[in-house]
Structure 1
């Protein structure tokens, strides 16, 4: 599942181990024949190594929690969804991602949901859009395509098709997608989320048998021919059951990562956070950028 601007969660107790002026800062936390490690030394090393990232995360969660509501039930559902996806690989997967245990991963999910709430506030998604996307999820499209590098070539191919050219033959001649060019550009059946958004939008909006105008994506220019549409055999559930995931999918497509970071940084700035940990006082300060003069 896609997440927004998530940092690896470390134990919140790192910063609570000791304070520089704590009465028991000299308490020994590890003994050896070569010497002892005190609580203060342990704290200082943890602060130097991870203090900035942990404190930033804790402050971010505190600020967002004050403005947005994320219930424990929502976090539980999110966690269970990940467990359902990963099955027996769950524990191994979260450990490989740097989470020491399930609770640390759960903290990350909560922060992610809070960040998602902040970003979603500025992106309008209508009920009509959600229902349209649900109808797409129930449908599979079969198509062929011809992929070329530039618009001029795409227009040349489209003109030949309009004049009665054979799609499969032109795919063999022109298409740069070597995975299917020799097979006439056949892509088989696909559903939502399998193609880049512009390609998907074009394919789902077309009638069977129609050929598109050039469609630009990050891969180049596509000429698309829809050859069939059918309802999925597998029941995907009701609209209400899919609504949340559909909203998240649209949100991730429309989100501008830079603007999302800027918004969260502004919320933290407006909260007037005063860092009192020595050496970390300036971790939330954003570098000032000069504006171009015109």
Structure 2
């Protein structure tokens, strides 16, 4: 749901200025009894809205990334992202889409822009041995376990006592667990250090268990609802990672890449380079400095080099 909302937030900013072309005229955009509002007046008013500069930045950046990296995004990628959003919001999906001013087609277009942006970031990642070593430190290979989730600490403690007295984990999971994804299968689940289906606190506790060992009660906060939840985990098949990084090269490269594209410094560097390669220039006087912060080189000697003077006139391809 958070992903869906964030996509709409960015997309809404893009739509806001999609009609703000450099050739806006005094042609009537709105008419009413006794007067009109021209296209230019409408554009001038939109420019005053809080967040207008961010919307313009996004419009420029996303368009450039789509042109340069859109071919790396397949129709299947877009469809999956769309379906994930639809599933996350359930029955409210259509109303949320309509509220944001989108049709299915236009929302998929914005999804493609977002995916092209991510593809552009990944295309600029150049991993080092140090990056892989850092990923290795937090990496744990996939394990098979069983879990029980409940909303009450007292219930969790009672279940823990039953398990300590020889209770059947799978049976109790089917009867007591509130985790709809696993309860019918006796709580069985597989996950590794990068899985998002299991809270970090649960993963960390589980990785310390030996086969057939049951954890103490684990407290975790649901990131979507902010509700406190309580878990019990039984390790079925533990897997030690050992000392050979090469066995997990693909997983480590993925972890290191995701870490890199989540780094604001890296992201700004990539965006700055893409804007420079595109020779972006701002023609609109009101937005002439909209990219200046993004175009500033990081300081290496106490002085920074500001390239914003190159962002003063038109946008060219």
Give 1:274 shift: 0.7
Give 1:252 shift: 5.8
Q: Which is worse superposed, 181-190 or 271-280?
A: 181-190
Partner of 1:48: 48
Q: In structure 2, the residue corresponding to 1:31 is in which secondary structure?
A: strand
Report if the CA contact (8 A) 2:214-2:234 is conserved.
no
Give 1:36 shift: 1.6
Please say if 1:31 is aligned against 2:24: no
Please say if 1:9 is aligned against 2:11: yes
Q: 1:286 aligns with which of 290, 293, 303?
A: 293
Provide closer, same or farther for how the CA distance between residues 251 and 90 of structure 1 changes in structure 2, counting only shifts above 3 A: farther
Report if the CA contact (8 A) 2:145-2:234 is conserved.
no
Partner of 1:142: 147
Report if the CA contact (8 A) 2:57-2:290 is conserved.
yes
Please say if 1:180 is aligned against 2:156: yes
Q: In structure 2, the residue corresponding to 1:29 is in which secondary structure?
A: strand
Partner of 1:267: 273
Give 1:2 shift: 6.8
Q: In structure 2, the residue corresponding to 1:116 is in which secondary structure?
A: helix
CA RMSD of aligned residues (A): 4.9
Partner of 2:119: 117
Q: In structure 2, the residue corresponding to 1:276 is in which secondary structure?
A: coil
TM-score of the superposed pair, with normalisation by structure 2:
0.53
Aligned residues: 230
Give 1:48 shift: 3.1
Q: Deviations over 1:80-131 (max 9, x none)?
A: 34335545432123345x34333442233112212322344438799xx9xx
Please say if 1:277 is aligned against 2:284: yes
Give 1:200 shift: 1.2
Please say if 1:207 is aligned against 2:203: no
Q: Deviations over 1:195-241 (max 9, x none)?
A: 333641551574334478xx9x999xxxx9853538xxxxxxxxxxx
Please say if 1:70 is aligned against 2:76: no
Partner of 2:96: 93
Structure of greater relative contact order (alpha carbons < 8 Å, 6+ residues apart): 1
Report if the CA contact (8 A) 2:261-2:267 is conserved.
no
Q: Distance in 1 between matches of 2:67 and 2:255?
A: 26
Q: Which is worse superposed, 106-115 or 9-18?
A: 9-18
TM-score of the superposed pair, with normalisation by structure 1:
0.56
